[in-house]
Amino acid sequence: MDALEVALEMAPLPADEVTAGSPSAGYAVLGHIGVGGDALEVGVWEMTDGTATDVEVDEVFVVLAGSATVEIEGIATPLELNPGTVVRLSAGMRTVWTVHERLRKFVVS
């Protein structure tokens, strides 16, 4: 499977989350690791250009394509995302995503 070729159904982000532009996002579940309540979900997520806020879940991701800046409440230095960047986010983090070039990431959550 080529994670860059996985088809995603894109939808506009909720207006109350968007702070600039008209970003859309899509997500496809590829499978699960483990069973029951401890299973981790594996998927591909993508967002188009624009800026939006989010409250994160526990996840680790690898940027596959595109570029973005992620500001995390309480952390002074924003994250610069480019292909190959690996990030760990914790549940409850409040973030602002500014996508400069359509961003696609491989996610385990």
Give the DSSP letter of residue 37. Answer: G
Query: In this predicted model, which residue has the larger pLDDT, 36 or 43?
Result: 43
**Mean pLDDT (whole number) for 27-34:** 92
User: Can you give the pTM of this predicted structure?
Assistant: 0.92
User: Is the distance from CB of 17 to CB of 2 less than 8 angstroms?
Assistant: no
What is the per-residue pLDDT across 54-95, written as a single tens digit (0 to 9) for each?
999 999 999 999 999 999 999 899 999 999 999 999 999 999
Task: Note the Cα 34 to chain centre separation in Å.
Answer: 22
DSSP assigned state of 8: -
